[in-house]
Structure 1
Amino acid sequence: MDSCKLPQDEHVQEEDLNTQCKHVHFNGPIIVGAGPSGLAAAACLSEHGVPSLILERCNCIASLWQHRTYDGLKLHLPKDFCELPFLKFPEDYPKYPTKHQFVAYMESYAAHFSIRPLFNQFVIAARFNDGLWRLRTAADYEYVSPWLIIATGENAEPVMPDIVGLDKFGGKIVHTSSFKSGSDYQNERVLVVGCGNSGMEVSLDLCGHNVIPRMVVRDTVHVLPKEVLGLSTFGIATVLLKWFPLKLVDKFLLFAASLTLGNTDDLGLRRPKTGPLELKNVAGKTPVLDTGALSQIRAGKIKVMEGVKEVTKNGAKFVDGQEEEFDSIILATGYKSNVTSWLKSAEFFTKEGMPKVPFPSGWRGDNGLYTVGFIRGGILGTSCDAIKVAQDIAHQWRAIKKQQAQTCL
C-alpha cells in the first residue's frame, strides 16, 4: 500500500488480502480528498465523535495548494474568512496569508484533529451497492462504507481550452497549475490566455521579470477592488447581504469599483450585464479582485488582447487581425470538477460535476452521499458544508449506536 498505513481504529478491518483486490470495511464515513474540504469534514465529524477515513490521491494534504499554485500566491480574502472550523489562524499571520502559510495552517489543522489520510489512494470508481458505498482505488483496494463524502471540490482538474493550432506551437505551453514564478520566463515573449484571478496575477508576476505579457480577454469580466477604504470588499459584501438584497449589494460593489478602479471598459475589460455576486451564484464565475494588475495594464506593462483565432508554430493570430510571435503560452483557463469520471450513477451531479440541487441544499444527496466544497462559496462555504454534513451523519451515527446498544441488552 505504498507508504500508507491503515489507521489503527476499531472500526477498520482488512480482509481478503490474498485476493487481487484488498477490501477495507469502515463503519464511519469515507471522505475523498484531503484538501481544505476533506480536512474540515473530518474535523467536524471528530467533534461529534464520529470516525472518518480520508482517501487522498496524492502523497500529501492540500495537494492542489502544494503542487499546483505559484510561489507568490496569497489568499484573496482576509484570513478571518478562510479559517476552517474550530481552529483559527496563528495570530502572527498577516491579513492575507501566503500560500506557504496556508499550507502550514492546514498541516497544523490535520495534526490538531489527529487526521491521518491514506495517501496515494486514487479513487477510480465509486458505486452504491447493497446499501453500501464501494470505492475502488488504483492501488487495488476497495473501501466500503455506509457514507461517502466527496470533498474533491470544484477545482480538481485543470481546464485545457480548445484553441485551433495549439498542438502546432513550437514553444512551451503550460497551465497555470504548473506555473511557479515569472523568473522562469525572464525576457521571453509570453501569451497568457485568460483574465480571471489566475491570469491577472500571473501576468502581474511576469511584469516583475522583464516580461510584457499579452493577456487574452475572451469574455466579459468583473474586476473589483481587493479593499475599499482599507476594508475587504468581500467582507463588506458579506455584511451588506445580511441586510440588503443581492442586486442592491451588486450595485454598491460596482459603484465602489467605478470610484476606485475607474472604467475598466477603457482597458479592454468589459463588464458583464449581470452583477458580480449574481453572476457568481448563477454561473459560478468569480469576480477578479485586483492586486495591482490594472495599474500595470494602464502603464502598458500588460497588453490586453482580444480572443485567439489561431495558434501558429511561432505565435498566435488574434480575432482583431493582429499576429504576434511568442516563446511561451500560459493557459490561465481555470479548473473543473472530476467527480463524473469516477462516481458511477452520478445522477446527483451535472455533466460538469456540480450538484444539480441548488444552493443551499447541494451538500446532501441520496443513500448516504454528501459533498463538501461544491457551493462556489470558497473556504467559508466549505466550512458551512462540513458543519452541516457532520451534524447530519452524527445524528444517524448516534441512532445506529443506540440501536446496537438496545440489541445487546
Structure 2
Amino acid sequence: MGSCKDDHENQQDCLWVNGPIIVGAGPSGLAVSACLKENGVPSVILERSDCISSLWQQRTYDCLKLHLPKQFCELPLFGFPENFPKYPTKRQFISYMESYARHFSIEPKFKKEVKRAEFDHGRGVWRVQTQDFEYVSKWLVVATGENADPNIPEISGIESFEGPVVHTSVYKSGAEFKQQRVLVVGCGNSGMEVSLDLCRYNASPNIVVRSTIHILPREMFGLSTFGIAMALLKWIPLRLLDKFLLLVANFTLGNTDRLGLWRPKTGPIELKNATGKTPVLDVGVLSLIKSGKVKVMEGVKEITRNGAKFMDGQEREFDSIILATGYKSNVPSWLKASDFFTGEGMPKTPFPNGWKGENGLYTVGFTRRGLLGTASDAIKISRDIGDQWRTIKNNKKICFSHFPLNR
C-alpha cells in the first residue's frame, strides 16, 4: 500500500492498495482475505467496528448456537477444532473466527467506516472513502453481507409504549426480563430462540406471527435436517425433497397450523432459494407453544401505552417489547453509482452468479445460503482476482502505488 498524494493542498489523505479493498471484517471478509493470500494476493480490510465478526461479538444473544452442524459452517482452508460440539456456541464460533484471523495473519483496519465507494471510470479504479482516508484500488469486495444493520419495522403507536423496546441486536439474556410479560415481534429463528430463553427466566413471551412460516425439526433420525436435505438434493428433485421434509416434520412436530403457525404453500427449501426466507429449526420452543408457556399472536394492529392491539381484536398488556425482526444490508447507503445491487442492497443477479459485478466489483455474503454460500463465493472471488493479479505481475504492468491521481 502506498501514498497517492499529489501536490494539491487540503485534499483527503489518499492511500493506494496493491490488491483488493475488502469492506467488512465479518466471516465473509475474513474468508476472502484468507483465500486471496493463498493465491498470493494482498488485500486491505476496512471495518467500521473495533473487532472482527462484530455482529457475533456485539449484537447476538448469549444463548445463540450455530443453527447448522459445524461442517456446514466452516470457512475455506481452516476447519473447526475437533473438540467443538456439533453445534458450536456463540463464544466458540467467535474463538474460531479469531483463530482464523490469526492463522492467516489477517489484520483489518478497525474503526474505518466506509462513507462512500465509487468507481472512477476515468482512472479505472475504485475510490473508497472513510472518515479520514481515501483508499484506491483496482478491485472492491463488498463483504458487509445481508445482516449489516438491524431491521426496525414501523409499527403504529410504538413510540407511545412506556416500557422498553429493544431489538434482538441488543438483547443478551432473558435475565433482564424476569417474570415480565414480553411481546416478541417476529417468529423466525431469533424470535423463537429468544422466546425459549425468556421462558428460562419465568418470563411470559407472546410471539407475533406476521406471516406464514415453515418449522422443521433441527434433526431427523438423529441426523441434521439440513445435512439430509443437502444429501438428498443430489438425487431427487427439489419439490420432492420438500414433500419429504414436510412429511417428516408433520410426523415429528405435528400439524403446526393448529398452533397458529401456518405453513406457506411453497415448500421450505424452494421458498428459501426463491426469497431467502429461512425455515425455523425447532430447538424446543414448539413444545412450549403447545403447553401454553409461549403464546402465539396474530399481527400487531397497534402498540398502546401499556401493551398492544392485535389483528384478531385482542388487546393485551406487556412490560417489554423485543423486536426479532432481523437485519438488512446497508450497501445502498455507501456504494454509489452502481446498478449491481437492488434498492434493498442485494445483488440483482441471483445465486450462484451474484458474486461478480463489473469494473472489479465483487460481493460475498449475499447468497442467502449462510456460511456455506460465503465459503463458495470467497473461493470464486480469490481465483478470479488471483488470475488478474498474476497477469498484471507477469506483464510487469505499472505498480498502482505510483499511478498518478489527478482530481
Q: TM-score range by the shorter chain?
A: over 0.9
Per the TM alignment, residue 188 of structure 1 is displaced from its structure 2 partner at its CA by: 1.0
Say yes or no: does 1:73 pair with 2:73: no
Q: Distance in 2 between matches of 1:330 and 1:236?
A: 33
Question: 2:373 — aligned with what?
Answer: 381
Say yes or no: does 1:135 pair with 2:128: yes
Per the TM alignment, residue 12 of structure 1 is displaced from its structure 2 partner at its CA by: 3.6
Q: Distance in 2 between matches of 1:61 and 1:372?
A: 16
Question: 1:7 — aligned with what?
Answer: none
Q: Distance in 2 between matches of 1:16 and 1:103?
A: 42
Question: 1:329 — aligned with what?
Answer: 321
Say yes or no: does 1:221 pair with 2:213: yes
Question: 2:49 — aligned with what?
Answer: 58
AA aligned to 2:276 is G
SS at match of 1:224: strand
Q: Is the 8 A contact 1:340 1:346 kept in 2?
A: no
Question: 1:171 — aligned with what?
Answer: 163
AA aligned to 1:92 is N
**Within 5 Å, which residues of 2 pair with 1:270-309?**
270-309=262-301
**Within 5 Å, which residues of 2 pair with 1:93-104?**
93-104=84-95
Per the TM alignment, residue 405 of structure 1 is displaced from its structure 2 partner at its CA by: 7.2
Q: Which of 364, 377, 383 does residue 372 from structure 1 map onto? A: 364
Q: Which of 83, 100, 113 does residue 92 from structure 1 map onto? A: 83
Identical columns (%): 66
SS at match of 1:348: coil
Q: Return closer, same or farther for 1:406/1:144 CA change in 2, 3 Å cut-off.
A: closer
AA aligned to 2:275 is A
Say yes or no: does 1:396 pair with 2:396: no
Say yes or no: does 1:24 pair with 2:15: yes
Q: Return closer, same or farther for 1:180/1:330 CA change in 2, 3 Å cut-off.
A: same
What are the Cα deviations for residues 311-335 of structure 1, in whole angstroms up to 9, with x where unaligned? 0111100111111111110001111
**Within 5 Å, which residues of 2 pair with 1:106-125?**
106-125=97-116
Q: Distance in 2 between matches of 1:100 and 1:240?
A: 32
Q: How many residues align?
A: 396
Q: Distance in 2 between matches of 1:96 and 1:109?
A: 18
Q: Which runs of 5+ in 2 are unaligned?
A: 400-407
Question: 1:193 — aligned with what?
Answer: 185
Q: Distance in 1 between matches of 2:242 and 2:147?
A: 25
Question: 1:257 — aligned with what?
Answer: 249
Q: Is the 8 A contact 1:222 1:276 kept in 2?
A: yes
Q: Is the 8 A contact 1:32 1:55 kept in 2?
A: yes
Per the TM alignment, residue 346 of structure 1 is displaced from its structure 2 partner at its CA by: 2.4
**Within 5 Å, which residues of 2 pair with 1:34-45?**
34-45=25-36
SS at match of 2:236: coil
Off by >6 Å, runs of 4+ in structure 1: none
Per the TM alignment, residue 105 of structure 1 is displaced from its structure 2 partner at its CA by: 0.3
Q: Is the 8 A contact 1:28 1:53 kept in 2?
A: yes
TM-score with structure 1 length normalisation? 0.95
Q: Distance in 2 between matches of 1:359 and 1:268?
A: 33
Per the TM alignment, residue 44 of structure 1 is displaced from its structure 2 partner at its CA by: 0.4
What is the root-mean-square deviation in Å for CA atoms of aligned residues? 1.4
Per the TM alignment, residue 172 of structure 1 is displaced from its structure 2 partner at its CA by: 0.2
SS at match of 2:14: strand
TM-score with structure 2 length normalisation? 0.95
Q: Distance in 2 between matches of 1:54 and 1:246?
A: 38
Say yes or no: does 1:159 pair with 2:151: yes
AA aligned to 1:189 is R
Question: 2:402 — aligned with what?
Answer: none
Q: Which runs of 5+ in 1 are unaligned?
A: 1-10
SS at match of 1:249: helix
Q: Is the 8 A contact 1:203 1:213 kept in 2?
A: yes
Question: 1:3 — aligned with what?
Answer: none
Per the TM alignment, residue 13 of structure 1 is displaced from its structure 2 partner at its CA by: 3.6
What are the Cα deviations for residues 34-75 of structure 1, in whole angstroms up to 9, with x where unaligned? 000000000000000000110000000000000000001000
Per the TM alignment, residue 268 of structure 1 is displaced from its structure 2 partner at its CA by: 0.7
AA aligned to 1:301 is K
Per the TM alignment, residue 241 of structure 1 is displaced from its structure 2 partner at its CA by: 1.1
Q: Distance in 2 between matches of 1:253 and 1:338?
A: 34
The range that moved more, 272-281 or 243-252, is 243-252
Question: 1:5 — aligned with what?
Answer: none
AA aligned to 1:213 is P
Q: Is the 8 A contact 1:316 1:323 kept in 2?
A: yes
Per the TM alignment, residue 406 of structure 1 is displaced from its structure 2 partner at its CA by: 11
Q: Is the 8 A contact 1:296 1:302 kept in 2?
A: yes
